[in-house]
Amino acid sequence: MKSALITGITGQDGAYLAKFLLSKGYRVYGTFRRLSTPNFWRLQALGVFPKVKLISMDLGDFSSISEALTASKPDEIYHLAAQSFVGASFEQPISTSDMSGLATTRILEATRIHSRDARFYQASTSELFGGSQLGPRSESSPFEPQSPYAAAKLYAYWMTKIYRESYGMFTTNGILFNHESPLRGLEFVTRKISNACARIGLGLQDKIRLGNLEARRDWGYAPDYVESMWMMMQQDKADDYVVATGVSHSVADFVQLACERLNIDMSTHIRIDKSLLRPLEVDRLVGDAKKAKTLLHWEPRLGFSDLVTLMVEADLKRWKDWQAGKFFPWDAPLYPDANNIIVTRYSLDR
Ligand code: NAP
Ligand code: GDD
């Protein structure tokens, strides 16, 4: 039986990947960090919580990373843990550089020392491309990071390649474009919209405050994307792959479809909040996943319209179940009202 170690198993991708690897017969270990309140709701929602072995690890702590490797003796390491919110990276640029950048080197070093034969996956991102180019981005497109998050991830991308080329280790970069699901964090725009629309539909909320409605992203479905991670790790030779649907939509398109699904009048409920505009924005991202399609035989299964429907319906069902007094693993009732969160870096600078 193969063993896999997933850093960041409590996140969106970590939970879906754990479920996928269990279905493939892996023994799955996952790292979590100590919080004042445990955060295992995604693993519980997918029904895999009792089936994974959990190891406490913090990305800033090399000894805990080493212990995670020696305890799990992994054949495959999926390094997903990071400060993953671009917006927060402007508010916390130094810790983001550490957790989304330098931490990858800590894990690569620990892997070189303790698990040199293990295969290593780095969660790279379409944010590396940044900039304002128009066309679809592939593995050979130039990088032009536009945020502390993207700059940190670019460093991690290069370190992953450097360990491959210097030490002959199997290290791979999955350059994944945005992927979403009902398990997405509530601060990301798609889930913010699906959750708010569900609440508006039920009369629990009146307005959604959003930033740049014109930004365009190539949005796919997270369970499809975690499969590509595993496929990269099964190849004879380590390499880097772009994973994307090849189609982009604007934030306004997402809002419009979500409102249509619930018969909500978009103009009445949407408000633009300038404090949610980023100091530097990536206006549009669309990917060219030809290499992944050809070599990995990966294909996205769920399209944009079905993704919006799935997310809106999932949040609507949750709020209805909650109103009916049902108890189930879920994040939204514990989340503060977005209007109560001050976006410091942006609002102070404007
Ligand atoms: P996510 O839901 O935010 O999950 C991030 C994970 O990292 C969580 O388990 C989190 O733990 C953990 N983490 C954060 N800081 C940590 C620390 N200091 N020590 C230990 N663990 C820490 O992100 P995701 O959407 O699943 O994305 C997974 C990875 O893919 C990230 O590296 C992200 O940058 C990258 N990526 C994501 C996308 C996308 O569209 N989703 C696209 C490209 C790349 P807590 O649960 O305790 O917070
Ligand atoms: N979060 C958020 N909240 N974004 C908003 C809002 C809002 O109220 N209004 C407009 N947007 C715009 C952002 O400015 C951005 O252009 C776009 O919506 C998407 O924002 P996010 O959902 O926060 O995702 P992201 O594209 O910045 O980053 C995600 O995808 C990357 C891959 O391209 C994250 O998952 C990253 O970890 C990942 O690397």
**SS3 of 344, please?**
helix
Structure confidence by residue, pLDDT tens digits, 176-203: 999 999 999 999 999 999 999 999 999 9
Q: What percentage of the chain has pLDDT greater than the value 90?
A: 93
Give φ, ψ of 311 to 5 degrees: -70, -45
Q: For residue 133, what pLDDT band results from cuts at 50, 70 and 90?
A: confident
Per-residue model confidence (pLDDT) at position 346 = 62
Ligand 2 contacts CB of residue 96 (under 6 A): no
Per-residue model confidence (pLDDT) at position 347 = 55
Q: Identify the structural domains of the chain with CATH numbers, from first to last.
A: 3-179+220-243 (3.40.50.720), 184-218+248-284+305-349 (3.90.25.10)
Rg of the chain over all Cα atoms, to the nearest angstrom: 20
Among 84, 99, 181, the mutation site with the greatest number of ligand 1 atoms within 8 A of its Cβ is 84
Distance from Cα 318 to the centre of ligand 2, integer Å: 23
Distance from Cα 210 to the centre of ligand 2, integer Å: 11
In which region does residue 263 sit, left (phi positive, over 0), alpha (psi from -120 to 50) or beta (all else)?
left
Buried b (16+ CB within 10 A) or exposed e, 91-112: ebbebbbbbbbebbbbbbebbb
pLDDT greater than 60 at residue 301: yes
Is the pTM for the entire model greater than 0.75? yes
| Rounded mean pLDDT, 284-308 | 98
Per-residue model confidence (pLDDT) at position 38 = 81
Ligand 1 contacts CB of residue 232 (under 6 A): no
Ligand 1 contacts CB of residue 156 (under 6 A): no
Indicate which atom in ligand 1 lies nearest the CA of residue 222. 41
Q: For residue 315, what pLDDT band results from cuts at 50, 70 and 90?
A: very high
Ligand 2 contacts CB of residue 100 (under 6 A): no
Ligand 1 contacts CB of residue 145 (under 6 A): no
Structure confidence by residue, pLDDT tens digits, 55-78: 999 999 999 999 999 999 999 999
